[in-house]
Amino acid sequence: DGGITQSPKYLFRKEGQNVTLSCEQNLNHDAMYWYRQDPGQGLRLIYYSQIVNDFQKGDIAEGYSVSREKKESFPLTVTSAQKNPTAFYLCASSSSHGGTGELFFGEGSRLTVL
Amino acid sequence: AQSVSQHNHHVILSEAASLELGCNYSYGGTVNLFWYVQYPGQHLQLLLKYFSGDPLVKGIKGFEAEFIKSKFSFNLRKPSVQWSDTAEYFCAVYNDKLIFGTGTRLQVFP
């Protein structure tokens, strides 16, 4: 089945630790996105990539980093510089370079910082 | 910067009631408009979309939305809600990236 796989589903980390969230898609989509979802704030864009080896900052990129070495993979690293990392993280992809906005989402990763 | 406003944060309805969720955006150029839905325990999925043409668009499960360009609005409607419509609904606007509103939590009681 085609789709987007995020792992892990739940993750706990101690303050000061970096953590990497995985996102893999087998939809052959060019563009991939990372959003953060917090109650009452909707989804906020962290980073996006429209093509391999290229990515752009979204609205809340500080404290996060990404890479796009392969078309099907777009991992997100939450660094110790992110002041409020506890959140639900959603990865998405879309089919066309340049995009239309029609995104397909993974099931999300819930990160809790202890 | 473009932004999306959803004025209803939490809506509670009885089954068979009519629904209208407001969505306004701030961007003067051409945009694509979306409503996404997140059912409890499920991933976010597309409900309906508007790119161009007829400003009244129909989506899945009896939902529809009307694009009113002069009001920068894209309100979601359903004439008669069901318990299974309980979910969180997000309006979104796409220009070169997809920007979401803060979401509306809909609870439908039998």
How far from the centroid of its chain's Cα atoms is residue B56's Cα? 13
Whether A42 contacts chain B with CB within 8 A: yes
- Whether B99 and A107 lie within 8 Å, measured CB to CB: no
Whether B102 contacts chain A with CB within 8 A: yes
Percent of chain A, pLDDT > 90?
A: 76
Whether A84 contacts chain B with CB within 8 A: no
Q: Is the pLDDT of residue B1 over 80?
A: no
Average pLDDT on A75-94 reads 94
Instruction: Tell me the C-alpha distance between A102 and B93, whole Å.
Output: 10
Q: What is the pLDDT of residue A110?
A: 95
B contact residues 25-84, partner A, Cβ 8 Å cutoff: 32, 34, 36, 42-46, 49, 51
Q: What is the pLDDT of residue B37?
A: 96
Q: Is the pLDDT of residue A81 over 80?
A: yes
Average pLDDT on B80-106 reads 93
Query: Residues near B16 by Cβ (< 8 Å), separated by ≥ 6?
Result: B80, B81
